[in-house]
Amino acid sequence: MKLTIGNINITDVVLGAESKVEGGTLFVNPKELEALVLEDGNIASVSFDVAKPGESTRITPVKDVIEPRTKADGPGGMFPGVVAKVDTVGSGVTHVLKGAAVVTVGKIVGFQEGIIDMSGPGADYTPFSGTINLVMDFVPRDGLSAQEYEKSLRVAGLKAASFLGDLAKNVKPDEVIEYDFLSATESMKKYPDLPRVGYVQMLQSQGLLHDTYVYGVDMKQSLTTMISPTEVFDGAIVSGNCVSACDKNTTYHHQNNPVVTDLFARHGAELNFAGMIITNENVYLADKIRSSDWTAKLCEMMGFDGVIISQEGFGNPDTDLIMNCKKIEAKGIHTVIITDEYAGRDGTSQSLADVDAAANAVVTGGNANEVVTLPKMDKIIGSQDYVDVIAGGFENNMKSDGSIVVEIQAIIGATNEMGFNKMSAR
């Protein structure tokens, strides 16, 4: 599958009378977006704001972050199975409003929703302090269940991002990148001497507001399967989960999966990017055994020499991670796992809930229990009423001077387990 990405650099987002992309500026008519999302009767109202890098602005509690994209040419549409029809995506031409993001906030759904600070020490932990964020602040209708509310906000954010992306369908890109994913036979013929490297992406699917959707299907209902890595750029995988903010894969993370991007960058030179497998993270042991068995079997059938495995979440999914690692290594295939750590505030606790000697090549996104003080911000988009109950918060963590003390697990993307974060070890 061959996909051409056309990046249109967005340097400003302006709320105004007309929705369009012109001269690097995304102009948004809020009434048009309001009419679109209020088609869902579960949403009582929505308000709009813009948060820019460097501003004294805090956004919380954040549900999802989505990058506006559109299919400029080729089959399918953005977010298939949710917004667009269920057509296979990942080929043709996709235009991206690079530098812009849609951020959804509102009354808290679960306790694991997070914070984006646009400046100060909190901004150093989240990649979304560097995007120009169109924030949609939702109010649900009374009596709505948490599951209904989550679904309505998830779909509303995706519809808004798709609407904004469509504004750039006929705009000339500033940068063009081509991704060509060959079949297994073609890649073996073309790169016979390069190591065959695969990617196993574990998708959060524990249920109870911990879900990920592939072509609109809840991943916990699926067996481990294969996907073209180009499909993820077109929104084939979307977030619907409320895991801890630090290692939650937002939809934006999936659209810009750095493991996929980096493997493509090395494809044909250092390695043969030979395939991508997606698997779930269910809660029952039988499901974990089944999924990890299938993962190892597919890795063997696809002839991988090495595999990168990325996780989402912590605790219960640590078992899935280690089972995948052990079983793939038992096939004679080398693995590298990407995870993060919950090692306690002093860093001395066991980092993962499960371990094995086979996991001898590990990349960490950092210790989510690290504590940081977030200073008072001049502007709050959403509400700070929940910062003591979200994961990473605690009782009386709002100080008299307006600052907040939290573990970095409360910050969106702080320890992301695909490596889409800002921390590093030197």
Instruction: Convert the pLDDT of each residue in 417-426 to its tens digit.
Output: 999 988 877 7
CB 119 within 8 A of CB 129: yes
pLDDT at 208: 85
- Beta-bridge partners for 271: 267
- Beta-bridge partners for 136: 48, 104
Residues labelled as active-site residues: 242
How many residues in total does the chain contain? 426
Tens digits of per-residue pLDDT, 129-186?
999 999 999 999 999 998 999 999 999 999 999 999 999 999 999 999 999 999 989 9
Task: Report the run of H or E that residue 141 belongs to, with start and end.
Answer: none
The three-class DSSP label of residue 139 is strand
What's the chain's average pLDDT? 96
The three-class DSSP label of residue 109 is coil
CB 330 within 8 A of CB 292: no
Tens digits of per-residue pLDDT, 245-254?
999 999 999 9
Tens digits of per-residue pLDDT, 187-231?
999 999 999 999 999 999 998 889 999 999 999 999 999 999 999
* Structure tokens given for 335: 């693995």
CB 9 within 8 A of CB 132: no
Residue 280, Cα to own-chain centre: how many angstroms?
A: 15
Distance CA 360, CA 343 (A): 18
Tens digits of per-residue pLDDT, 283-313?
999 999 999 999 999 999 999 999 999 999 9
Distance CA 202, CA 320 (A): 8
Half-sphere exposure of 44 (CA within 13 A, CB side): 8
Helices assigned H by DSSP within 197-284: 229-232, 251-255, 258-266
pLDDT band at 243; cut points 50, 70, 90: confident
- CB under 8 Å to 143, separation ≥6 — which residues? none
Task: Quickly list DSSP for 15-57.
Answer: E-SS-EEETTEEEE-HHHHHHHHTTSTTEEEEEEEEE-TTSSE
pLDDT band at 22; cut points 50, 70, 90: very high
* Structure tokens given for 403: 């600052």
Distances (CA, A) of 35 to 135, 287, 323, 424: 16, 42, 47, 43
* Nearest alpha-carbon partner for 110 in 213, 248, 8, 230: 248
pLDDT at 107: 87
φ/ψ of residue 151, rounded to 5: -65, -45
pLDDT at 254: 98
Per-residue pLDDT at 260 exceeds 80: yes
